[in-house]
A and B are shown apart, each in its own frame.
Chain A
Amino acid sequence: GENVEQHPSTLSVQEGDSAVIKCTYSDSASNYFPWYKQELGKRPQLIIDIRSNVGEKKDQRIAVTLNKTAKHFSLHITETQPEDSAVYFCAASWSGNEKLTFGTGTRLTIIP
């Protein structure tokens, strides 16, 4: 089955700097890669996703890049703000599979 590894497990970044979280996946059939943000005590919320037919997707300060050859994808947050502090989860899946395989999460702390 699919295995998703996520690094780092914790990340502290000065406010205004950029943050990068990386995930690797094992199943070359995977073609859908969402990212979720979970604030303390709240539900995970989808913040961005990418399909394997593109290499990069941006939404304001958030971007995701995908390297299918190396089987890894990354979340990039620029100009970080205190409200970016949260746990971020990556996930992977493929067409015809109803399940997502999640990474173990990254706790991002933005230092004011």
Chain B
Amino acid sequence: SQTIHQWPATLVQPVGSPLSLECTVEGTSNPNLYWYRQAAGRGLQLLFYSVGIGQISSEVPQNLSASRPQDRQFILSSKKLLLSDSGFYLCAWSAMDREVQPQHFGDGTRLSIL
């Protein structure tokens, strides 16, 4: 069966510090991968998605970036964090298919910026 791992679970970072969040998927090949952010009590904001190695689509211009160095690895990064980057970051995957497939979420990283 497929599993998705995200780490760390929680992170407290000072303003201006760098960020690296990692997500890996097991049990499937060539998945679509996604990064979402969720502010407290709010909805799901799609940040980036990837349909293959090295292929990244950005949905919201901001100081975050994403990379997909391996088929089942998706990384979210920032060079300098802002206070507004606080939130719950969720990685998700879906199977690549002719028909739309459901997305499955990881357990998330709760990021607090001080």
A25-66, CB < 8 A from B: 31-32, 34, 41-46, 49, 51
Interface majority SS on A: helix, strand, loop or mixed? loop
On chain B, which size bracket covers the interface?
A: 20 to 34
How distant is the Cα of A89 from the Cα of B42 in the complex, in angstroms? 11
The interface size of chain A toward B, counting residues with CB under 8 Å, comes to 24
Q: Indicate whether A44 sits within 8 Å of B90 (C-beta atoms), given known contacts A89-B43, A99-B49, A102-B43.
A: yes
- Would you give the 0/1 interface string for B90-114, flagging 1 where the beta carbon is closer than 8 Å to chain A? 1000100011101111111010000
Most buried by A among B44, B46, B59, B104: B44
> B51 near A: Cβ within 8 Å?
yes
Question: Are B46 and A99 touching (Cβ within 8 A)?
Answer: yes
Question: Are B100 and A93 touching (Cβ within 8 A)?
Answer: yes
- Would you give the 0/1 interface string for A96-112, flagging 1 where the beta carbon is closer than 8 Å to chain B? 11111011110000000
For A46, the closest partner residue in chain B by CB is B102
A76-110, CB < 8 A from B: 89, 93-100, 102-105
How distant is the Cα of A34 from the Cα of B104 in the complex, in angstroms? 11
